[in-house]
């Protein structure tokens, strides 16, 4: 008596990837990770060494501009924001905009990831021109949301600032970087 099969016979054995290909892939990943970490450390060290002596006036202007742009957006929505230099105030909440609030460090992370990835100079340049303004806009959105939420619920500031937006920024930066790879690096148009 023949046993009836319930469907096509399939080969459940895993297809093996040649060791050479695995080795190349591991080396490429290791190269990216080490280069990314090295570039990030280099950018942060360079920033730390030059921030007080050379970049202080520029950083001050970026902080002030960030405060004024966030204030403008809040006022477009009728929030009654008042801005004085780096200080932003609403009815129930005030905050000082410092370098860490400007998106500079997020830009460093994005740049390090982009520069570490194997792509042409032209494609990296596209990433810079598209990525930096995008990160700046996301940061303005972050500041607006934190300020509005904190105005209505001041006790939520710590959570929004230290937890929610930290995770959100990591996911947004990762998404922007992957989008750059998929739409620009892998594209023939750029």
Q: What is the pLDDT of residue 15?
A: 67
Instruction: Tell me the mean pLDDT in the region 7-24.
Output: 68
pLDDT in tens, 59-80: 999 999 999 999 999 999 999 9
Q: Facing residues of 94 across strands?
A: 89
Instruction: Tell me the mean pLDDT in the region 36-59.
Output: 90
Q: What is the pLDDT of residue 1?
A: 52
pTM of the model: 0.82
What is the rounded CA–CA span in Å between residue 94 and residue 17? 58
Q: What angle do CA 48, 112, 40 make, to 5 degrees?
A: 35
Cβ atoms within 10 Å, residue 190? 14
The ranges assigned to domains in the chain are 20-185
- List C-alpha distances in Å: 133 to 111, 130, 141: 12, 6, 12
9 falls in which pLDDT band (50, 70, 90)? Answer: low
- SS3 for 4? coil
5 falls in which pLDDT band (50, 70, 90)? Answer: low
* Residue 117 CA neighbour count, 13 Å, CB half: 22
pLDDT in tens, 152-174: 999 999 999 999 999 999 999 99
What is the rounded CA–CA span in Å between residue 89 and residue 42? 35
What is the rounded CA–CA span in Å between residue 88 and residue 73? 12
């Amino acid at each position: 008596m023949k046993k009836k099969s319930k469907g096509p016979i399939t080969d459940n054995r895993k297809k093996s990837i040649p060791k050479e290909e695995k080795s190349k892939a591991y080396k490429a990943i290791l190269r990216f990770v080490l280069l990314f970490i090295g570039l990030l450390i280099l950018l942060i060290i360079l920033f730390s060494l030059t921030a007080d002596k050379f970049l202080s006036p520029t950083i001050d202007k970026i902080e002030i501009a960030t405060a004024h742009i966030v204030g403008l957006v809040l006022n477009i929505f009728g929030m009654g924001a008042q801005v004085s230099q780096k200080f932003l105030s609403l009815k129930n909440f005030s905050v000082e905009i410092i370098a860490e609030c400007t998106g500079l460090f997020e830009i460093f992370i994005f740049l390090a990831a982009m520069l570490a990835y194997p792509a042409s100079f032209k494609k990296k340049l596209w990433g810079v021109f598209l990525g930096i303004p995008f990160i700046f806009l996301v940061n303005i959105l972050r500041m607006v949301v934190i300020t509005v939420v904190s105005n209505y619920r001041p006790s939520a500031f710590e959570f929004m600032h230290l937890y929610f937006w930290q995770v959100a920024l990591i996911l947004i930066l990762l998404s922007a970087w992957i989008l750059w790879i998929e739409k620009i690096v892998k594209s023939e148009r750029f």
